């Protein structure tokens, strides 16, 4: 698709209204605050193609599973984040004609997502079929300082007429998920009322009893005079208040709409309306302007810790800020019950549930840009699901251990394709790896003794039982698995899965040993509680020692799986471009038989366990696998970009970076209307910081090895590391590291250690 958004360092801007792109823009311009979020739907009625979507984090529905052929072990349901009450709705009728951009002539349309200050705005001029021309200016945000509050300012100015306007401000809870398996509505009515300027709708889910109250207040001013509502009504799951006023040519009518959205995840069912009222009244009293000022200040603080500046390339600058903005909108880490769905609040695909994406791709972003308790909460989330992961392993026939789900909302497996649900078990390794990553970055070893060890032991137990011993070769193998490359299913000995399993066992043994030395009392308590025997740990060591890894001696590469080389080996560049993307042009059968790789697989292992491989090994494997990789998962280019940086393949690194940075803005995969690729956005951040910045933490030390793409004048990124906040600016000539905190820090840059005092800048030459 031809890019249609304007380049700007801090905003996403669309000029001119194109109905065909509306659903894409609805995804891209989405707003959220970690607690709730919504697609960039219009406030006024729009009868064209649109996905109306307002989502509340953690509120989900167990939608009965739909599969062609049932397999024992499949989950009963897929938990879906619910599309919930539409609180933004305004129905505008002018002299009997409804304002609807699908039927009006629209000129001067401009939509802007202001990422710096955290709001969405839109201006346009609409000519209705009675000839009336009306100018509209709409601004809205969901507050990141009062997480339950959303606010709208909506201004109407008649250009060529005086006339009567009817404004209906409504709450509509009669919403259906676009991805409902059986077209079932998930919400039931509890209460709806409308009175004065206010209305309330409380709905509850038909299963699981999530209660959701949306309460709103609407104020209308014409030329400064307050207009009183003159009608109010309700029906099931719906409530409205209506205003009538006279529009005068050139005079502006302003609508303010405030909403408080609360659920029984946070409060008692029977207090919801009372709490929503209190929050709503506080917001009204604060007023739109002040709420907006608070919003801007809070976003300034977020940017202070997480901004990346790219000088000399506005398109790249916009791309990276777009990614950071969405990451910060999707997860704030304040609530350990929440996680990061692959589409965040921008769409419904993937059900809004948690995947291994969180541990493998998102965690590093939060580790380096926010307080460490935020990343810790992502680990606690999995700890809270440990019992369910143990049940999952039992359900699949294991006698012990934990298998975390491929997709989950509450810890239970939701995924239902056997070759992924039962076989893509490498996800368990990512959950163990995240514990390592967190401890390695933060130095918070106490986490192991508090919660981490329990998760590590149970995952290790799973691996112990999932491998099998092959006496004639005296090795342990793992058959019937799917690696991260979902274009090769049900293979034996996926190198990455074997490696991450064995690594988990190693790390668990290491953590147990360290706990025993440093905190014997805690160690004893865990041994007792987990009933961990020496027989088990001895077996783990034996598995580590005898794990089988497929390799090819001639090529000197790790093999993605047994017999990988028996496939017809060819490079993507040898394919006629008309075949790409394969997933839209080839049958699944043809894909599975081919050598083409969806996303990093062996290379995922070399990325995670980078510190355990030498550069030559990484190079040989990269040179072998990357040319076969089609990058048809949005999670793929970032890993390749990071490794390419490490190998000095600067063009490749930049090329891969571009594929990830503007994936949604330029709709590369032709699927942005389903929602944005939120989890891969964290991967983009990784490409800059771990790739171009060369950031690593080895033995408690922060390492940097920056290189700057030739197209950029300079780039800089922020990281928070062990009490210090650093701003690292890289130009073609030098690297300036500014310590923006009071705490001194040692940084190893190109293998040399430098000491940076608080509030000081040190410079070194770019290699």
Please list the active-site residues: 486
Residue closer to ligand BGC by CB (options 342, 693) is: 342
Taking the complex as a whole, the smallest distance from the CB of residue 419 to ligand BGC amounts, in Å, to 12
Taking the complex as a whole, the smallest distance from the CB of residue 560 to ligand BGC amounts, in Å, to 15
Question: Per the annotation, does 390 bind a ligand?
Answer: no
In contact, 155 and 167? CB cutoff 8 Å: no
User: Per-residue x/- marks for ligand BGC, 345-384, CB under 6 A?
Assistant: -----x----xxx---------------------------
Which residues contact residue 22 at a Cβ distance below 8 angstroms, ignoring those fewer than 6 apart? 46, 48, 49, 50
Residue with tokens 């109306």: 52
Q: Does 323 bind ligand BGC (CB under 6 A)?
A: no
Short-list 149, 115, 460, CA closest to 281: 149
The CA-atom distances, in angstroms, between 34 and each of 359, 474, 653 are: 18, 50, 31
In contact, 754 and 746? CB cutoff 8 Å: yes
The whole-angstrom separation of Cα 511 and Cα 532 is 14
Taken as a whole, the chain contains a residue count of 767
Residue closer to ligand BGC by CB (options 560, 679) is: 679
Q: Does 739 bind ligand BGC (CB under 6 A)?
A: no
Cβ of 471: how many Cβ atoms within 10 Å? 6
The whole-angstrom separation of Cα 138 and Cα 558 is 56
Pairing assessment for the beta strands 724-731 and 752-756 based on DSSP bridges? unpaired
Taking the complex as a whole, the smallest distance from the CB of residue 355 to ligand BGC amounts, in Å, to 4
Count of helix runs (H) and strand runs (E) in the chain: 21, 33
Taking the complex as a whole, the smallest distance from the CB of residue 680 to ligand BGC amounts, in Å, to 7
β-partners of residue 638 are: none
Maximum CA extent, the chain: 91
Bond preceding residue 581 cis, omega within 30 of 0 = yes
Taking the complex as a whole, the smallest distance from the CB of residue 533 to ligand BGC amounts, in Å, to 35
Residue closer to ligand BGC by CB (options 177, 633) is: 633
- Taking the CA atoms of 327, 330, 331 and 337 in sequence, report the sign of the dihedral they define: negative
Which of 484, 550, 694, 706 is the binder for ligand BGC (CB under 6 A)? Answer: 484
Taking the complex as a whole, the smallest distance from the CB of residue 407 to ligand BGC amounts, in Å, to 8
In contact, 365 and 678? CB cutoff 8 Å: no
Taking the complex as a whole, the smallest distance from the CB of residue 675 to ligand BGC amounts, in Å, to 11
Residue closer to ligand BGC by CB (options 415, 466) is: 415
Residue closer to ligand BGC by CB (options 350, 668) is: 350
Which of 27, 295, 440, 633 is the binder for ligand BGC (CB under 6 A)? Answer: 633
Residue closer to ligand BGC by CB (options 621, 679) is: 679
Taking the complex as a whole, the smallest distance from the CB of residue 686 to ligand BGC amounts, in Å, to 15
Residue closer to ligand BGC by CB (options 89, 484) is: 484
The CA-atom distances, in angstroms, between 670 and each of 2, 30, 561, 663 are: 11, 18, 31, 9
The whole-angstrom separation of Cα 643 and Cα 619 is 9
Report the site for ligand BGC in 491-510 (rule: CB under 6 A): none
Q: Does 429 bind ligand BGC (CB under 6 A)?
A: no
Short-list 233, 241, 235, CA closest to 259: 241
Q: Does 486 bind ligand BGC (CB under 6 A)?
A: yes
Residue with tokens 């406030």: 43
Burial 496-524 (b: 16+ CB within 10 A, else e): bbbbbbbbbbbbbbebbeebeeebeebbe
Residue closer to ligand BGC by CB (options 350, 540) is: 350
Report the site for ligand BGC in 590-619 (rule: CB under 6 A): 598-599
Taking the complex as a whole, the smallest distance from the CB of residue 581 to ligand BGC amounts, in Å, to 12
Q: Does 342 bind ligand BGC (CB under 6 A)?
A: yes
User: Per-residue x/- marks for ligand BGC, 436-475, CB under 6 A?
Assistant: ----------------------------------------
Helix (H, G, I), strand (E, B) or coil at 94: strand
Residue closer to ligand BGC by CB (options 53, 675) is: 675
Report the site for ligand BGC in 527-566 (rule: CB under 6 A): none
Q: Does 344 bind ligand BGC (CB under 6 A)?
A: no
Which of 328, 489, 641, 679 is the binder for ligand BGC (CB under 6 A)? Answer: 679
The whole-angstrom separation of Cα 573 and Cα 550 is 26
In contact, 527 and 515? CB cutoff 8 Å: no
Q: Does 635 bind ligand BGC (CB under 6 A)?
A: yes
Question: Per the annotation, does 588 bind a ligand?
Answer: no
Question: Per the annotation, does 599 bind a ligand?
Answer: yes
User: Per-residue x/- marks for ligand BGC, 67-96, CB under 6 A?
Assistant: ------------------------------
Q: 512-520: long-range contacts (C-beta < 8 A, 24 or more apart)?
A: 512/453, 512/457, 512/537, 514/445, 514/448, 515/448, 515/449, 515/453, 518/445, 519/449
Question: Per the annotation, does 10 bind a ligand?
Answer: no
Residues found near ligand BGC in the complex (CB under 6 A): 342, 350, 355-357, 484, 486, 598-599, 633, 635, 679
Question: Residues at the annotated binding site for substrate?
Answer: 356-357, 598-599
């Amino acid at each position: 698709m031809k890019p249609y958004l304007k380049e700007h360092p801090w905003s996403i801007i669309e000029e001119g209204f194109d109905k065909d792109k509306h659903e894409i823009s609805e995804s891209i311009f989405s707003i959220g605050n970690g607690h709730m979020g919504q697609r960039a739907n219009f406030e006024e009625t729009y009868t064209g193609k649109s996905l109306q979507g307002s989502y509340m984090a953690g509120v989900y529905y167990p939608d009965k599973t739909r599969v062609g052929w049932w397999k024992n072990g499949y989950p009963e349901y897929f938990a879906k984040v619910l599309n919930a009450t539409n609180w933004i709705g305004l129905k505008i009728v002018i002299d009997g004609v409804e304002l609807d951009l699908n039927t009006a002539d629209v000129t001067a349309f401009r939509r802007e997502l202001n990422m710096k200050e955290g709001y969405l705005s839109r201006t346009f001029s609409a000519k209705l079929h009675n000839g009336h021309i009306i100018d509209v200016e709409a601004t809205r945000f969901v507050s990141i300082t009062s997480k339950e509050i959303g606010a709208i300012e909506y201004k109407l100015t008649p250009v060529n007429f005086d006339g009567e306007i009817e404004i209906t401000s409504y709450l509509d809870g009669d919403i259906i998920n676009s991805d409902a398996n059986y077209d079932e509505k998930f919400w039931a009515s509890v209460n709806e009322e409308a009175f004065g300027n206010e209305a309330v709708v409380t709905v509850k889910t038909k299963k699981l009893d999530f209660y959701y109250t949306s309460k709103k207040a609407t104020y209308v001013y014409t030329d400064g005079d307050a207009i009183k509502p003159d009608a109010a009504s309700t029906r099931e799951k719906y409530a409205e208040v209506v205003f009538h006023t006279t529009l005068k040519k050139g005079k502006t009518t302003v609508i303010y709409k405030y909403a408080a959205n609360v659920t029984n995840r946070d409060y008692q069912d029977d207090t919801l309306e009372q709490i929503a009222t209190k929050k709503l009244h506080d917001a009204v009293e604060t007023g739109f302007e002040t709420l907006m000022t608070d919003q801007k200040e809070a976003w300034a603080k977020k940017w202070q810790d997480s901004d990346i500046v790219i000088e000399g390339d506005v398109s790249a600058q916009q791309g990276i800020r777009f990614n950071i903005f969405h990451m910060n909108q999707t997860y704030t880490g304040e609530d350990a019950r929440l996680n990061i769905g692959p589409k965040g609040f921008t769409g419904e695909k993937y059900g809004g549930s948690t995947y291994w994406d969180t541990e493998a791709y998102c965690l590093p972003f939060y580790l380096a840009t926010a307080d460490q308790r935020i990343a810790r909460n992502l680990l606690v989330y999995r700890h809270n699901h440990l019992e369910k992961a143990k049940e999952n392993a039992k359900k699949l026939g294991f006698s012990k251990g934990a298998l975390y789900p491929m997709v989950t909302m509450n810890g239970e497996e939701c995924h239902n394709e056997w070759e992924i649900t039962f076989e893509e078990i490498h996800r368990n390794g990512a959950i163990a790896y995240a514990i390592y990553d967190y401890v390695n970055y933060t130095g918070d070893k106490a986490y192991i003794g508090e919660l981490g060890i329990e998760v590590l032991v149970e995952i290790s137990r799973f691996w112990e039982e999932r491998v099998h011993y092959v006496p004639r070769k005296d090795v342990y193998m793992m058959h019937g698995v799917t690696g991260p490359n979902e274009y090769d299913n049900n293979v034996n000995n996926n190198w990455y899965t074997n490696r991450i399993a064995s690594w988990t066992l190693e790390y668990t043994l290491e953590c147990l040993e360290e706990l025993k030395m440093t905190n014997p009392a805690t160690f004893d308590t865990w041994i007792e509680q987990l009933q961990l025997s020496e027989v088990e740990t001895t077996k783990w060591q034996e598995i580590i020692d005898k794990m089988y890894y497929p390799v090819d001696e001639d090529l000197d590469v790790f093999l993605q799986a047994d017999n990988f080389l028996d496939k017809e080996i060819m490079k993507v560049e040898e394919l006629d471009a008309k075949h790409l993307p394969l997933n839209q042009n080839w049958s699944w059968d043809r894909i599975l038989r081919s050598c083409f790789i969806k996303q990093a697989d062996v290379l995922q292992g070399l990325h995670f366990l980078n510190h355990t491989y030498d550069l030559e090994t990484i190079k040989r494997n990269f040179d072998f696998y990357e040319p076969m990789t089609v990058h048809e998962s949005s999670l793929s280019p970032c890993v390749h970009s990071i490794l390419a940086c490490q190998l000095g393949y600067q063009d490749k690194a930049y090329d891969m970076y571009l594929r990830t940075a503007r994936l949604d803005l330029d709709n590369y995969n032709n699927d942005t209307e389903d929602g944005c690729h939120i989890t891969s956005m964290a991967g983009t951040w990784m490409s800059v910081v771990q790739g171009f910045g060369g950031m690593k933490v080895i033995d408690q030390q922060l390492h940097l090895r920056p290189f700057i793409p030739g197209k950029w004048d300079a780039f800089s990124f922020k990281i928070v590391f062990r009490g210090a906040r650093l701003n690292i600016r890289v130009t073609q000539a030098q690297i300036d590291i500014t310590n923006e905190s009071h705490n001194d820090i040692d940084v190893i840059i190109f293998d040399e250690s430098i000491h940076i005092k608080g509030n000081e800048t040190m410079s070194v030459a770019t290699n």
